[in-house]
A = this chain, B = another copy of it.
Amino acid sequence: MPTAHEKEKMVSQKLKCLGKEVNEMIDKKQGPFIELPVRTLTNVYFDPKSQTIKLGDKTSQRQFLNIAHTRKFMQTVLVASEINKLVEEKVNVSIRDLYYALKHTIEGTNENTFEEQSESDPVIEDLEASIDLLREELHLTATSKGIIVGDMKIKDGKDTIDLNKMGSGGWGVPSNVEPDRIEIKDLSADYILFIEKDAVWKRFNEDGYWKKNKCIIITGKGQPARAERRLVQRLNHEFKLPVYALMDADPWGMYIYSVIKQGSISLSYSEEKLATPATQYLGLTTKDVDTFKIPKEVTIKLTQLDIKRINEMKSYEWFKKKPWQEEFDRMKEKNYKLELEALSRKGIRFITQTYVPQKIESKDFLP
């Protein structure tokens, strides 16, 4: 495991290498270009080996002397150079900070280096994909929303944080959870429960579920940020903890599950480091309605958009497995979806005392 310092040196080397190549082309009086991976859909695929969404091998050249590329070429060099500065100064900034730090009028012209953040963001992604590093490793922070508790400690800089003593709150997951920054210690848990919703996470925390059942509970408060996904991947890879996802029985909840498990198309170039293919879908499912005798009043009729999304998801390669196809068909046939909170109709603690324990006991998961 490289230290933070070794990691920074490595990142800096990769960036300098990119700059050196450009310099050499100029010295040779060659039109300089940067070779970048193609990030369009045509180059994205589901890799059966890693079981994640991945970026293919296609690359394209961004050429300084091609007038259609010149502005982007200039921006790419600027961003690479600024990131190198951040890494050398050991400072982490948001992608919005980076945009503002670089935005200026080019001397002697009326031209700004960037007009909008929508110009600098894709350049950052190009570089991430090109040098195969996470944005966080480039010292760029992303918003993180998640909270986590459980029987483990986190060593983060000089601080050691006891995640089993967080009261009714939780530890706010930081943006960068790479091994050189965040050390996981004294872990004593049998599995991870990845909970879609904050309100449901609070139920599991208040009921002390994680203490009684020796597990980690984490929520991304909706679609999780990169940091929550990366941390769960580390817990799974480094400590072999199974991951169970607890989501609404609706297209949105199931989509979030698929992002946790195999990643998203928009982050395909980083998914090997973010996705956790071992994740299993604990629930909720429409099948649960019969199994747990959930009253029909708390189900919600599907909208046209729901049906459209279900049909789309049915066609995704990673949802081709029979149990998922059956679940999607059942959902359409019953014409309803339901939320985790609907289980409150069976009693406020039904979800922590009956539903989840029974599902885990009977291993009643979707793949």
- Residue numbers of A with Cβ under 8 A of B are 86, 89, 91-94, 96-101, 103-105, 112, 141, 143-145, 147, 154-157, 159-161, 165-176, 181-182, 198-199, 202-203, 206, 221, 295, 297-298, 339, 341-345, 348-349
Contact = CB atoms under 8 A, between A and B. Distances in A.
A91 B348 contact: yes
Contacts of A104: 295, 297, 345
Prevailing SS type, chain A contact patch: mixed
7 contacts: A94-B202, A96-B199, A97-B203, A98-B344, A100-B343, A161-B166, A175-B202
Contacts of A198: 143-144
B199 A94 contact: yes
Given A168-B181, A169-B172, 17 more contacts: A86-B348, A89-B348, A91-B348, A92-B206, A97-B199, A97-B344, A100-B343, A143-B199, A145-B221, A154-B169, A156-B169, A161-B166, A161-B169, A167-B182, A169-B171, A169-B174, A170-B172
A166 to B, nearest CB: 6
B154 A101 contact: no
Contacts of A339: 96, 100
A296 to B, nearest CB: 9
A169 B228 CA distance: 12
Top 4 A-B pairs ranked by shortest CB distance?
A156-B167, A94-B199, A168-B174, A147-B172
Contacts of A297: 103-105, 112
Nearest to A98: B344
Contact of A341 (B97, B144, B169, B298): B97
B156 A161 contact: no
Contact of A166 (B86, B89, B159): B159
Contacts of A167: 154-157, 159, 161, 174, 182
Given A199-B96, A341-B94, A348-B97, A168 B176 contact: yes
A114 to B, nearest CB: 9
Contacts of A101: 344-345, 348
Contacts of A171: 166, 169-172
A221 B143 CA distance: 9
A169 B92 CA distance: 13
A93 B203 contact: yes
Contacts of A175: 168, 202
A100 B161 contact: no
Contacts of A94: 199, 202, 341
B96 A349 contact: no
A349 B91 contact: yes
Contacts of A344: 93, 97-98, 100-101
Contact of A156 (B112, B156, B168, B202): B168
A152 to B, nearest CB: 13
